[in-house]
Amino acid sequence: MSDVAIRVEGLSKRYRIGLAEERADTLASSVANLVRQPVRNFRKLASLTRFSDSSDDAEDIIWALRDVHLDIPAGQVIGLIGSNGAGKSTLLKILSRITEPTSGSATIKGRVSSLLEVGTGFHPELTGRENVYLNGSVLGMRRSDISRRFDEILAFAEVEKFIDTPVKRYSSGMQVRLAFSVAAHLEPEVMLIDEVLAVGDAAFQKKCLGRLDGVAQEGRTVVFVSHNMSAVRNLCERAVLLEHGSVKQDGQIDEVMNTYLNVDTGIPPEQVWDDPTTAPGDDRVKLRSIRVTAGGRLLPEIDYSSNFDVEVNYQNHTQNLRVAVSVHIRNSRGDLVFTSGNTPDATDGLDPWYGKPQPVGLFKTTCTVPGRLLNEGAYSVSVFLVGAFVKDAMARAPEVVSFQIKDMRRGEREYQGEWQGIIRPILKWHTESVEGHEPASIEA
């Protein structure tokens, strides 16, 4: 494809962040500060938008984007991924002309619609009908376009009955459906979408994904930002990984996603076996998928203090089989950190299906590992399905998924270095004075 829809060349964007206030330590200096305050405030506010070239690397400047180059052919659906603050949203904002780049340029061919939020401009006092027109025109639709597609929009949103009711009487789900439905009926050549699928119920999300997929099939160019990795994987053929404002990797969706999701180990945090013939297991039971999630999301890094789940899906092919699940966690040096299983000896509370004869069907076993246990680093997970009460392994999946533990609050801690050791538990500590020459008092 020689037809380039979006060309980004050396795009950079810097922001100035406010510096910490000077602190007064005497009454006199706080009075002096009070007097100087307006002058300083003025300088600070005025400087928000002024940059001198010498201040390039001053400490109050952050580069949200730095020298980004991208060519997006017409008709391609491309995913922008990266952790928070990597510059994904800034890039979309520049492409949708909401904010200007500091340097570099972007050229877009075709009519652009940006969807950085669903329902921008919605007003609770206006009726559904009025909001459809308002939101449609906010997104760049003509009044005639909206009228022409009005019935389709209503049908998609499933709110026909309430269209002349103020939207403040709608449930939040209805509002989201209506808002998304307007956006779904845009007909631009280039569409920029930011994390808008995180709203609505699961069924509606699925419908929206279907709709987006349709958009992609029609040959539109779509730039899609999401933390929903499976949505990105389903919709996009190509992905760009941004890190600290620069392009870290640009290529096939699977490769880029692997780089993003497993920084060290080379093993992804999710493993899905679509084909039963290659799935681990024998004819009694087969693994379907294993993933490690925190707060329900696949993440490249899990915070040290948050719980995470190892989720195992398996298909039972044998009536009245008793399946037990066992998990082994190893660190990057290969040490077996711990093993666990859903036997009553190892569980906090009883797993309701443990030891019960299970019918044929799909089962999901989740093991929740508490936060503040594993030290920072990369870990691999092995999963075994065994018959309950026996040692006979029916399915083996050694080191198939991995995850990373990172202390996101390291900068706020007293000791900011790395802790030694395989685990990093939080323990109770206490010191008391046992014997001394003077009466010891903590307050003194």
Partner 1 sequence: MLYLFQSASEVGPWCENIIVMAQITDQQNEDTGSISIQRIEHTTGWRVVDFREIWEYRDLFYFLVYRDVKTRYAQSVLGIGWAVAQPIFMMIVFSVIFGRLVGVGSDGLPYVVFSYTALVPWTYFSGALGASTGSLTSNKNLLSKVYFPRLIIPLTSILAKLVDFLIALILVAVLMIWYGIAPSIWAVMLPVYVLIMLATVAGLGMWLTALSVQFRDVSYGIPLGIQLLMYLSPVVYPVSVVPDKFRPYYALNPMSAVIDGFRSGLLGATEPQFDLLLIGSGVALVLIVTGAMYFKRTERIFADVV
Residues within the interface to partner 1 (CB under 8 A): 2-4, 7, 9, 15, 42, 45-46, 48-49, 93-112, 114, 116-117, 120-121, 123, 125-126, 130, 133-134, 137-143, 189
- Of 183 and 235, CB closest to partner 1: 183
- State in Å, rounded, how far the first CA of the chain is from the last one: 77
List, in order, residues 6 or more apart from 347 with CB less than 8 Å away. Answer: 354
Minimum distance from residue 288 beta carbon to partner 1 (Å): 40
- Of 4 and 209, CB closest to partner 1: 4
- Of 97 and 297, CB closest to partner 1: 97
Minimum distance from residue 155 beta carbon to partner 1 (Å): 22
- Of 112 and 394, CB closest to partner 1: 112
- Of 114 and 375, CB closest to partner 1: 114
Minimum distance from residue 87 beta carbon to partner 1 (Å): 14
Minimum distance from residue 40 beta carbon to partner 1 (Å): 13
Instruction: Please count the other Cβ atoms lying within 10 Å of the Cβ belonging to residue 22.
Output: 10
Minimum distance from residue 138 beta carbon to partner 1 (Å): 6
Rounded CA gap, 167 and 35, in Å?
49
Element (H, E) at 317: none
Sheet bearing 112-115, strands edge to edge: 112-115, 190-194, 221-225, 77-81, 238-243, 246-252
- Of 42 and 389, CB closest to partner 1: 42
Nearest alpha carbon to residue 368 among 386, 392, 351, 356: 351
Render 46-70 in DSSP notation, one character per residue.
Answer: HHTT---GGGTT-TTEEEEEEEEEE
Minimum distance from residue 419 beta carbon to partner 1 (Å): 40
CA angle 328, 333, 336 (to 5 degrees): 25
Pairing of strands 221-225, 77-81: parallel
- Of 183 and 323, CB closest to partner 1: 183
Minimum distance from residue 225 beta carbon to partner 1 (Å): 13
Render 357-414 in DSSP notation, one character per residue.
Answer: PBPSEEEEEEEEEPSSSBPSEEEEEEEEEEETTS--EEEEEEEEEEEEEE-TTGGGSS
Minimum distance from residue 20 beta carbon to partner 1 (Å): 19
- Of 190 and 324, CB closest to partner 1: 190
Rounded CA gap, 91 and 403, in Å?
28
Minimum distance from residue 210 beta carbon to partner 1 (Å): 24
Pairing of strands 285-293, 270-272: antiparallel
The CB-side HSE value for 359 (13 A sphere, CA atoms) comes to: 1
Nearest alpha carbon to residue 251 among 239, 267, 260: 239
Angle between the N-to-C axes of helices 128-138 and 172-184, in degrees from 0 to 180, rounded to the nearest 10: 40
- Of 29 and 105, CB closest to partner 1: 105
Give the three-state DSSP class for 217. Answer: helix
